[in-house]
Chain A
Amino acid sequence: MADIRTLHDAVAELIHDGDTVAMEGFTHLIPFAAAHEIIRQGITDLTLVRMTPDVIYDQLIGAGLVRKLVFSWGGNPGVGSLHRFRDAVENGWPRPLELDEHSHAGMANRYVAGASRLPFAVLRGYRGSDIPTRTDTVSTVTCPFTGEELAAVAAINPDVTVIHAQQADRQGNVRLWGLVGVQKEAALAADRVLVTVEEIVDELSPQAGAVTLPAWAINAVVEVPGGAHPSYAAGYSVRDNDFYKAWDPIARDREKFQAWIREHVLENTAEGAAAR
């Protein structure tokens, strides 16, 4: 059953050193505030899973908390490179970063398998690509009915999935809408689920195409207005594109990056960050 918690307490209780953590949101509803709380608490040796690592994982990687990254597209969307990600992969700074790299279709199906509690998923993919030469989570399987050889991808079952949604009600039922991405699958694939929301309401508003996660499928709900900033939260805020652009020169430089984390994350509080 979802408890309504503070961000500090929910993160401290649900996310531990060495965990595999998926923080999803396909460029929309990215749970930045929760990631900053992970940085403040110094939770480390994480395996992070996310289709598009985005600036959120650039920050966690640069902060030295990440051992391994499972992903399918690692850029700063609409801007360019993720420099902290590149520095970790290319130079091992601030620590080496192990990669498990896929295509989007492969990652989406890995979450589907995880949510279904199956060991793997089947797709037509990866044929002729060099991607399978660098990962042990892609293989092939022969269809028992037709004999066709298909790609098999290992299920992802994170210890914890963290997502940001627009609303929760007072019982902890969660609703998100707009581009719903892979959040439902990522949440249902995980052992523990933490959801930050724009607001807690008496009654969830009806929304076309919304994903509703019942309270009994979630461990903790935290009200964090602006918790997806600088990404989008449909119905609440648009992307702070200036931030995404400004991130490029900050992330290019190790010292500028560290100063930014110090000023905007470490010396801030969950409450202060939300009020930003």
Chain B
Amino acid sequence: MTQTAQQAPAAAEWTSDELMTINAARALVGARTVFVGIGLPSTAANLARRTAHPDLVLIYESGTLGSKPTRLPLSIGDGELADTADAVVSVPEIFNYWLQAGRIDVGFLGAAQVDRYANINTTIVDRGPDKPEGRLPGAGGAPEIAANCGRVLMVLRHSTRNFVKKLDFVTTVGHGSGPGDRERLGLRGAGPVAVITDLGILRPDPATSELVLTDLHPGVTVAQVRAATGWDLKVADTVATTEPPTADELAALRALQAAGRSAT
């Protein structure tokens, strides 16, 4: 990650989405296996394999262990995931023998709504009195991914629409209502350890389990992040700044996305 000033791309040369994806990829360093959701998590996990973590084992809920896609999958059923995998198993097997058995280090999730304890709603949104609930896609694999992986990373864009004071529905438990809740519920993994957004990184305070702002992306202010969060976001005593993207990271991400587009 060290580089000279001459090599470093200037701030205008990347987007906030690129910052988010690159930092999400970096967060996978140290993991052996990752259970990957389609969308932002899949992009980040594939970027990790092309940058700092070529040996990362990607596991998709469609039943692939060790996929090495040459482009981003169009959907969870993309044959590319099966053709490049070490093994292809059935959907019951992936959830029971591999996920539930506690064999996977990191669960990597997106979300529609997140609260201060990193609980997730992907089911319904309350649109106010006299209006029908708005439908979201639903749970998918998330409840058991968050329960059974060693730890959970989340990646989503930062806005008051996504980071809410109270969830309209708890689809997937992060840290419940605070310390001790995961143990009480019998959720075996450590739960969410980082929420990576286009503005920075939130991590749970070990004492309270509440998400606090620990890192800002270059050029982002604490005030910006607090304004984009639906609760009174706490800020760590020392807030770090994430390393700017390297030229290699940006090139790898753009090549990955270009390969995905040409496949459509």
Contacts and interface: CB of A to CB of B under 8 A. Distances in A.
B260 to A, nearest CB: 10
A130 B123 contact: yes
B201 interface: no
Contacts of B79: 28, 178-179, 232, 234, 238
Interface string A64-97: 0000000111110110011001100111000000
Contacts of B171: 129-131
A56 to B, nearest CB: 12
Contacts of B64: 179
B135 A73 contact: no
B124 to A, nearest CB: 9
Interface stretch (A34-42, A102-110, A263-271): A102-110
A180 interface: yes
Interface of B: 38-39, 61-64, 74-79, 81-83, 87-88, 90-92, 95-96, 99-100, 123, 132-135, 137-144, 147-148, 169-173, 176, 181, 185-188, 263-264
B173 A179 contact: no
Contact of B82 (A109, A128, A234): A234
| Interface magnitude class on chain A | 35 or more
13 contacts: A73-B138, A82-B137, A90-B133, A104-B139, A105-B99, A105-B144, A111-B92, A127-B173, A129-B139, A178-B79, A182-B92, A239-B78, A242-B264
A104 B82 contact: no
Contacts of A52: 76, 140
Contacts of A128: 170, 173, 176, 181, 185, 187
A260 interface: no
Interface stretch (A118-126, A193-201, A248-256): A118-126
Q: Among B64, B74, B143, find the residue whose CB has the most chain A CB atoms closer than 10 A.
A: B143
A23 to B, nearest CB: 14
Contacts of B181: 128
Contacts of B170: 128-130
A18 interface: no
A123 B135 contact: no
Given A103-B143, A123-B100, A211-B90, 20 more contacts: A26-B62, A27-B78, A72-B138, A74-B137, A78-B38, A101-B138, A103-B139, A105-B144, A108-B91, A123-B95, A124-B147, A124-B186, A124-B188, A127-B147, A130-B169, A148-B186, A179-B64, A179-B79, A180-B88, A239-B77
Given A130-B169, A180-B63, A125 B135 contact: no
B210 to A, nearest CB: 17
Nearest to A87: B135
B123 A101 contact: yes
A125 B147 contact: yes
Contacts, number: 179
A125 B144 contact: yes
B84 to A, nearest CB: 12
A203 interface: no
Given A124-B186, A127-B187, A90 B62 contact: no
B91 to A, nearest CB: 4
Interface in A160-212: 178-182, 184-185, 209, 211
Q: Among A27, A51, A234, A241, find the residue whose CB has the most chain B CB atoms closer than 10 A.
A: A27
Contacts of A231: 77
B143 A26 contact: no
B137 A75 contact: yes
Interface in A211-232: 211, 231-232
Given A28-B77, A77-B76, A101-B123, A179 B143 contact: no
